[in-house]
Amino acid sequence: MTLGNRVRFFFRKPHNVILTILAVSLAFLTLLPLLSLLKDTVVVHPSEIMSVKGSKMGDLTFFHWKKVFSDGETSMNLFYKPLWNTIRVSLWSCLIAIGLGGGVAWLVTRSDMRWKPFVSTVFIFPYIMPSWTLAMAWLNFFRNRLIGGAPGLFTALTGIETADWFAYGAFPIVVVLGLHYAPFAYILIGGILRNMDANLEEAAVILKAGRLKILSRITLPIVMPAVLSTFLLVFSSCMSAFAVPAFLGTPVRFQVLTTQLYRTLNGLNPGYGYIMALVMIVIGTGILMINQWIIGKRKSFTTVTGKSSNISFARLKAMRAPISIALVAFVSLIAILPLVTFAIESFIMAPGDYSLKNLTLQFWVGKGSEDIGGGEPGILLNKYIYLGLWNSVKLSVVVAFVAGTVGALTGYAVVKARGTKLASLVNNLAFFPYLMPSMAFAAIYLSMFAKRNLFIPSLYGSFALLVLVGAVKYLPFASRAGMNAMLQLSNEIEEAGLIVGIPWWKRMTRIIFPIQKSSFLSGYLLPFISCMRELALFVLLIVPANRVLTTMLFQYNEKGWNQYANAINLLIVLIVLVFNTVINKATGASIDKGIGG
């Protein structure tokens, strides 16, 4: 067959066209940034002419590499200690997340615990809420005099001054990250437990094995690969978390890689930051490869299928009521109490004084007075808040639309062409942004698109740049959702349309999409929610005209206008929760479909 014909036949298939377009554009949007990042580690940036003596902007230099990796104490403080901190914190957070998430998953899927619907709904909240939510709540509760004159609610209520190690640094970071990612572990492990054939356990029951023995000898070994894979995913998520260590670690100068990244990218030596970003990408890729290897190796284990229609729940007996009550209380504590503290903090005038006479509506509906927060009116009267809110919603909707649609197409094309080199290339490219730390990703996009780039005009400060970076960053979620949707759909379903001459777009919109509506919509929902609560990705790219709620929150927080920050945070959390619930109820889409899989 001639080459020309071969190419022609190839492009007759819509999925090949999609794959080719995706491969080219994703290479441009993910591989090029990586190259750009590599370049950024060896050139002199404008702010570095002070440290790289005698250099000009843009000169080639190995100064950054030397400083980060082999300059004695400097490298120690700059890189090795934060790296060690990152690993330590991530490991412990993982243990908490998996212990807690796995435990709740077991209780919900396998025991006769009460109030399961409430627990399973509310337990997810911390994951839907912005990641700093719990961190801020922690500070609201436990902050001591170290950072601010005004101690937190806990001290105000009990009179006990919290210790520094308890209020700031590794301990609270571990606890908060663990709680934040526990729902993630819950979703992943719960998914496996739910799909696990109950017969496997029932067979053991018939052999008169005890409950505990079944758990340890049957259930655990079967879910182990999933747990391991959850462990790795949670680990890499913890590793790239920025907001939590930034809020809780900074007061005691506890640095992890992400906070170092932020400090260096915004400081005099962005070159250091780019190297750290590279290191994080390498670690992330490594973790992912191990994960793939585990899943690949024990495939027969993880894809436990079968319809476990009637599982005989483990009887908690006497412990049923105590466990149920404790779990409900705990879930409320981590999901609802933070919101309460934001509310409280946003209603008090002078920080640290929780008496009734100190309550005020100033920060919600106040007119704005010179001496409070630089004369800003309360957030419900502040036109900038509405602008930010509008920008946030607009951005999230557009990003969700772009990421969701491209993700659905990616999922479609990759699944259709499963097994081909092109498909796995696109699959990997679409997943790659997941490994890029948000902050570094944004920094690279900033430097790539600040100038005219090929045919793309300068996007600096534009809404389009925010959309682009958001859409690419969240594509992994959307493409995974799209892929899950397509994998559950037999190829024949589409071919049945093809054979009777239904054109491609109509097959997509009238057959494929409607059938897998909830899965595909999950691919839209997750980017939407992530975008609404995103900070690290946008903080470097925002200009005043297109600021969004989260960056405003961060600014208010940096300025020390705590009440505004709390009020805005409450606003963000409520919006995200309401959107999630409404979309979930209306369409059946849910965030677990994007990550579960």
Partner 1 sequence: MKKQMIIVALLTATAMSVFAMGTKEGSSGAAPAEKAMTHDELVAAARAEGKVVVYSITSRIAGAATEFEKLYGIKVEASNLKDGELIEKVSKEVGGGIQGADFVICQDSGRVYGQLIAPGFLTNYVPPSMKSIIPAQYQNPLTFQLINKVFIFNSERSTAPVIKNVWELTEPKWKGLVQFKDPKAEGVNANFLTMITSPEWSAKLDKAYQDLYGKKLALTTKNAGYEWIKRFFQNGLVLGNSDTTISENIGIKGQPQTTMGLFVYSKKRFDAKKNLALEPMTEVAPFSGFIYPAFVMLTKNAAHPASARLFIEYLLTAEGFKPWSKDVGSYSSNPTIPVNDDDQPVSFWATRLVPEDPQYLFENRAAVEEFVNNITY
Partner 2 sequence: MPEIILKNVSKRFGKFVAVDDLSMVIGDGDFVTLLGPSGCGKTTTLRMIAGLETPTEGEILIDGKTVFSSERGVDVSPDKRDVGFLFQNYALWPHMTVEQNISFGLENLKWDKERIRSRVAELLATLKIDQFGKRYPSELSGGQQQRVAIARTLATGPKVLFMDEPLSNLDAKLRTEMRSELKRLHAETDSTFVYVTHDQLEAMTLSTRTCLMKEGVLQQYAPPLEVYHNPANLFVADFVGSPTMNFLEGVGRGVNLDEIKMSVSGLDLLFSPVSGSITLRDDQPIVMGIRPEFVRIGETGKGRARVYAALPSGMETVVKLRSGDQLLTSVVFGSIDYEADGEVGFGFDGEGCVVFDKETGANLAIGKLAII
Query: Is residue 501 within the footprint of partner 1 (CB under 8 A)?
Result: no
Taking phi first (over 0 means left), then psi (-120 to 50 degrees means alpha), and beta for anything else, what does residue 519 get?
alpha
From 455, 501, 558, 586, residue interacting with partner 2 (rule: CB under 8 A)? 501
Closest to partner 2 by CB, 208 or 421: 421
Site for partner 1 in 518-547 (CB under 8 A): 543-544
Closest to partner 1 by CB, 62 or 115: 62
Closest CA to 78 of 248, 278, 263, 244: 263
Residue 61 structure tokens: 């230099």
Site for partner 2 in 394-423 (CB under 8 A): 419
If binding means CB under 8 A, how many residues of this protein chain bind partner 1? 46
From 53, 208, 307, 421, residue interacting with partner 1 (rule: CB under 8 A)? 53
Query: Is residue 212 within the footprint of partner 2 (CB under 8 A)?
Result: no
Closest to partner 2 by CB, 294 or 415: 415
The contact pattern for partner 2, residues 90-119, with x = CB under 8 A and - = no contact, is: ------------------------------
Which of the listed partners (partner 1, partner 2, none) does 148 bind, with a CB threshold of 5 to 8 Å by partner kind? Answer: partner 1
Residue 289 Cβ vs partner 1, minimum distance, rounded to whole Å: 31
Query: Is residue 424 within the footprint of partner 2 (CB under 8 A)?
Result: no
Which of the listed partners (partner 2, partner 1, none) does 287 bind, with a CB threshold of 5 to 8 Å by partner kind? Answer: none
Query: Is residue 515 within the footprint of partner 2 (CB under 8 A)?
Result: yes
Q: Distances from the Cα of 584 to the Cαs of 312, 511, 581, in angstroms?
A: 28, 22, 5
CA 77, CA 540: separation in Å to the nearest integer? 24
Distance of CA 262 to the CA centre of its chain: 17
Residue 116 Cβ vs partner 2, minimum distance, rounded to whole Å: 27
Which of the listed partners (partner 1, partner 2, none) does 286 bind, with a CB threshold of 5 to 8 Å by partner kind? Answer: none
Closest to partner 2 by CB, 511 or 577: 511
DSSP 87-135: HHHHHHHHHHHHHHHHHHHHHHHHB--S-HHHHHHHTTHHHHS-THHHH
Amino acid at 548: V
Site for partner 1 in 371-430 (CB under 8 A): 371, 374
423 C-beta neighbours (distance < 10 Å), count: 21
Which of the listed partners (partner 2, partner 1, none) does 267 bind, with a CB threshold of 5 to 8 Å by partner kind? Answer: partner 1
Which of the listed partners (partner 1, partner 2, none) does 514 bind, with a CB threshold of 5 to 8 Å by partner kind? Answer: partner 2
Distance of CA 474 to the CA centre of its chain: 9
From 36, 88, 380, 461, residue interacting with partner 1 (rule: CB under 8 A)? 461
Query: Is residue 145 within the footprint of partner 1 (CB under 8 A)?
Result: yes
From 315, 510, 559, 585, residue interacting with partner 2 (rule: CB under 8 A)? 510
Q: Distances from the Cα of 21 to the Cαs of 436, 445, 449, 466, 478, in angstroms?
A: 22, 20, 20, 22, 17
CA 55, CA 462: separation in Å to the nearest integer? 32
CA 109, CA 309: separation in Å to the nearest integer? 12
Site for partner 1 in 240-259 (CB under 8 A): 250-251, 253, 255
Which of the listed partners (partner 1, partner 2, none) does 46 bind, with a CB threshold of 5 to 8 Å by partner kind? Answer: partner 1
Query: Is residue 490 within the footprint of partner 2 (CB under 8 A)?
Result: yes
Which of the listed partners (partner 2, partner 1, none) does 255 bind, with a CB threshold of 5 to 8 Å by partner kind? Answer: partner 1
CA 400, CA 358: separation in Å to the nearest integer? 42
Query: Is residue 390 within the footprint of partner 2 (CB under 8 A)?
Result: no
Residue 491 Cβ vs partner 2, minimum distance, rounded to whole Å: 9
Half-sphere exposure of 417 (CA within 13 A, CB side): 23
- With contact defined as beta carbons under 8 Å apart, do 203 and 217 qualify? no
Q: Which string of b and e fits 453-490 if b means at least 16 CB within 10 Å?
A: eeeeeebebbeebbbbbbbbbbbbbbbbbbbbbbeebe
From 61, 266, 285, 360, residue interacting with partner 1 (rule: CB under 8 A)? 266
CA 175, CA 245: separation in Å to the nearest integer? 11
Residue 122 Cβ vs partner 2, minimum distance, rounded to whole Å: 32
From 9, 46, 203, 496, residue interacting with partner 1 (rule: CB under 8 A)? 46
Query: Is residue 4 within the footprint of partner 2 (CB under 8 A)?
Result: yes
164 C-beta neighbours (distance < 10 Å), count: 15
Query: Is residue 307 within the footprint of partner 1 (CB under 8 A)?
Result: no
Residues 6+ away with beta carbon under 8 Å from 379: 363, 364, 385, 564, 567, 568, 571
Residue 73 Cβ vs partner 1, minimum distance, rounded to whole Å: 5
Site for partner 2 in 5-64 (CB under 8 A): 5, 8-9, 12-13
Q: Distances from the Cα of 186 to the Cαs of 116, 175, 478, in angstroms?
A: 13, 16, 20
CA 385, CA 423: separation in Å to the nearest integer? 44
- With contact defined as beta carbons under 8 Å apart, do 438 and 469 qualify? no
CA 91, CA 435: separation in Å to the nearest integer? 18
Site for partner 2 in 330-359 (CB under 8 A): none
Closest to partner 1 by CB, 294 or 444: 444
Element (H, E) at 322: helix 320-335
- Residues in contact with partner 2 by CB under 8 A are 1-2, 4-5, 8-9, 12-13, 419, 490, 492-493, 495-503, 506, 510-511, 514-515
- Residues in contact with partner 1 by CB under 8 A are 46-47, 49-51, 53-54, 57, 73-74, 77-78, 81, 145-150, 250-251, 253, 255, 263, 266-269, 350-352, 370-371, 374, 446, 450-451, 458, 460-461, 543-544, 558-561
